[in-house]
Copies of this chain bind each other. A is one copy, B any other.
Amino acid sequence: MHTLSVDLGERSYPVYIGRDLLSDAALIGQHINGSQVVIVSNDTVAPIYLDKLRAAIGERDLVTEIILPDGEAHKSLATLNEIFDRIMADRHSRSTTLVALGGGVVGDITGFAAACYQRGVNFVQVPTTLLAQVDSSVGGKTAVNHPLGKNMIGAFYQPQAVFIDTNTLQTLPPREFAAGLAEVVKYGLICDEPFYRWLQEHIAKLLAREEAALAEAIERSCASKAAVVAADEREGGLRAILNLGHTFGHAIETAQGYGNWLHGEAVATGMLLAVEMSARRGSIDRVEVEAFRELLLKMQLPVAQPADMTPGQFLDLMGRDKKVIDGRMRLVLLSAIGQAAIVDDASESELTALLETFPRAS
């Protein structure tokens, strides 16, 4: 087992990475105090892992299980309200602990519920998808979606602990696994060139889901994210580099309807757009664009924009993104492989030209 610390002063917490953590009663018991627990999961993950986790949590005075329908479409205020209804009906007190067992949707909505219920209760994450393990498990961003924009309603709220059980990746569907790899490769691109080169070399082992390669990739990803978040918890500056590909990606997700493109898929195409744009600005070599496209193809991630999206639609949706400050759109590009750069001088014509000439799904 590896242990990382996310260093945020009095809100610091550990991230444990290893096999069988889901059923490690001693470890989990260290981080769930009090006699009341709410486990939130979804109807895909719960049948496989809920009993194990419940056994590890052990006997408590009050345990409520909330099983949501799977999918991004349910990351809404309506679902949040249903969670509150259940917790209230069972009369959980301010000393309860909310446990998120599932992917990013479960983690984000459970974390936001924990942030708001009685103005804040304890929260523990057990992420079961690669994406959630390397992304939302570190950093304390919680949220639900609004029909007009993703993650628009939420809070910065840190968990007490995160348990990443690498075994759970063995049951992850290939498409979800690929979506997680998109966020893994992002850390290489924005701040860790050696890791990026390591990924290019070890992609076959990762695709074969070899335990050692997975643990290495997760740990290096989480370590990068923890370092960025420790330097900038509330996204004042540096943290924005984590959004490489996300402004384009969110536009794709919103236009296509949440869940039709997975978040990681949209981010993959968004990153390729950002890398292409960086090359057109002369910041990185064109050969790197091609190498990155090849890596995404190996990862089985999309490298073309949706067939039915126009540049105008992209620009419109990107203008609603949280990264817009007083009318200026901030975009994350690369100044080199392993080095992000934030720009706010992208013109409508530059973006339109990029989108008009970028490959389109047939």
B contact residues around A81 at 8 Å (CB): 77
Which parts of A319-346 form the interface with B (CB within 8 Å)? 319-320, 322, 324-327
Among the stretches A146-154, A189-197, A305-313, the one at the interface with B is: A146-154
Inter-chain contact B84/A152, CB cutoff 8 Å: yes
A3 to chain B, nearest CB (A): 27
- With CB as the reference atom, state the residue of chain B lying closest to A81: B77
Among the stretches A24-32, A87-95, A258-266, A278-286, the one at the interface with B is: A87-95
Among candidates B94, B115, B143, residue contacting A322 with C-beta atoms closer than 8 Å: B94
Inter-chain contact A156/B95, CB cutoff 8 Å: no
Which parts of A86-140 form the interface with B (CB within 8 Å)? 88-89, 91, 93-95, 115-120
* In the bound complex, CA of A72 to CA of B77 (Å): 20
* In the bound complex, CA of A119 to CA of B118 (Å): 17
Using A77-B77, A141-B119 as known contacts, say yes or no to A324 and B155 having CB atoms under 8 A apart.
no
- With CB as the reference atom, state the residue of chain B lying closest to A142: B119
B contact residues around A156 at 8 Å (CB): 119-120
B contact residues around A326 at 8 Å (CB): 34-36, 61, 93, 95
* In the bound complex, CA of A89 to CA of B146 (Å): 11
Using A88-B146, A146-B88 as known contacts, say yes or no to A119 and B77 having CB atoms under 8 A apart.
no
* In the bound complex, CA of A141 to CA of B116 (Å): 11
Q: Does A234 contact B (CB under 8 A)?
A: yes
Inter-chain contact B327/A61, CB cutoff 8 Å: yes
B contact residues around A84 at 8 Å (CB): 77, 146, 152-153
A75 to chain B, nearest CB (A): 14
Main secondary structure of the interface of A (DSSP, over half): mixed
B contact residues around A146 at 8 Å (CB): 84-85, 88
Which parts of A143-168 form the interface with B (CB within 8 Å)? 143, 146, 148-149, 152-156
* In the bound complex, CA of A35 to CA of B327 (Å): 10
A88 to chain B, nearest CB (A): 4
B contact residues around A61 at 8 Å (CB): 326-327
* In the bound complex, CA of A323 to CA of B143 (Å): 27
A93 to chain B, nearest CB (A): 5
A63 to chain B, nearest CB (A): 14
Inter-chain contact B120/A89, CB cutoff 8 Å: no
Inter-chain contact B95/A325, CB cutoff 8 Å: yes
Inter-chain contact B77/A152, CB cutoff 8 Å: no
Inter-chain contact B77/A154, CB cutoff 8 Å: no
- With CB as the reference atom, state the residue of chain B lying closest to A91: B320
Among candidates B85, B155, B319, residue contacting A115 with C-beta atoms closer than 8 Å: B155
Of A34, A117, A119, most buried by chain B (CB within 10 Å of CB) is A119
B contact residues around A88 at 8 Å (CB): 146, 148-149, 152, 320
* In the bound complex, CA of A119 to CA of B141 (Å): 8
Inter-chain contact B153/A116, CB cutoff 8 Å: yes
Using A35-B326, A143-B119 as known contacts, say yes or no to A91 and B319 having CB atoms under 8 A apart.
yes
Q: Which 3 A-B pairs have the closest CB atoms?
A: A88-B148, A119-B154, A93-B324
The chain A residues found within 8 Å of chain B, CB to CB, are 34-36, 61, 77, 80-81, 84-85, 88-89, 91, 93-95, 115-120, 141, 143, 146, 148-149, 152-156, 234-235, 319-320, 322, 324-327
8 contacts between A and B (CB under 8 A): A35-B326, A84-B153, A85-B148, A88-B152, A116-B155, A118-B152, A119-B143, A155-B155
